[in-house]
Structure 1
Amino acid sequence: MKNITVSLDDELYRRARIRAAQEDTSVSAVVRRFLIEFASEGTEFDRLKRQEQDLRAQIQEFCASDRLSRQSVHERQIGRKKR
């Protein structure tokens, strides 16, 4: 196991200790948990791929026939002024 040194200003360290105590843990355990998550996230591509999969899983119903026709999409109202 490796030890690391992290420099923080006094106020930040004080607030981190208070928050860790409220969660019944230590600052070291919080930093360890963060680093485990940070190191296991993988690349930005992997993160986006997981996000896409999660979003696709949330889609309940989709039917391509519900889409507008090509003609409907490109119809323009007659008499509408061009800018």
Structure 2
Amino acid sequence: MKNITVSVDDDTYRQSRIRAAELDTSVSALVRSFLERLVRDGSDGSGARGSDAETEDERRGRLLDEVCEDIRATRSGFRAADNLSREALHDRHAVR
């Protein structure tokens, strides 16, 4: 993996760190994801649309599908039924 250096103004950097934190990721991961989409889709990020360009709703749906697939791939086997009940969590005698 190669490292790159990118210069951005302070406000852009601050806002990107906030957005990355909201997404529970890093600025580097956001940049990497953008560059991967740029190469894969040929999208330049300008918002210009060709006749076959996806709409904003389609893009959001596709991104949501990608995130869900990533979650399924990295957290296989997770089910809400696997969680302990509140009583079991607070049962201090069970660990003795």
Aligned residue number for residue 39 of structure 1: 39
Residue 18 (str. 1) matches residue 18 (str. 2):
yes
Aligned residue number for residue 9 of structure 1: 9
Separation in 2 of the partners of 1:17 and 1:36? Answer: 19
Q: CA RMSD in A?
A: 2.5
Listed as ranges, the gaps of 5+ residues in structure 2 are 44-48, 55-96
Taking structure 2 as the reference length, the TM-score comes to 0.44
**Which one has the largest radius of gyration?**
1
1:18-72 deviation per Cα after TM superposition (whole angstroms, max 9, x unaligned): 01001100000000000000011248xxx958x28x8xxxxxxxxxxxxxxxxxx
Query: Structure 1 vs Structure 2: percent identity of aligned residues?
Result: 57
3-state SS in 2 of match to 1:14: helix
> Deviating runs (4+, > 4 A) in structure 1?
none
User: Once the 2 structures are TM-superposed, how far is the Cα of residue 9 of structure 1 from its aligned partner?
Assistant: 0.6
Separation in 2 of the partners of 1:48 and 1:9? Answer: 30
Separation in 1 of the partners of 2:15 and 2:27? Answer: 10
3-state SS in 2 of match to 1:12: helix
Taking structure 1 as the reference length, the TM-score comes to 0.51
For 1:31, the aligned partner's letter is V
3-state SS in 2 of match to 1:5: coil
Separation in 1 of the partners of 2:10 and 2:30? Answer: 17
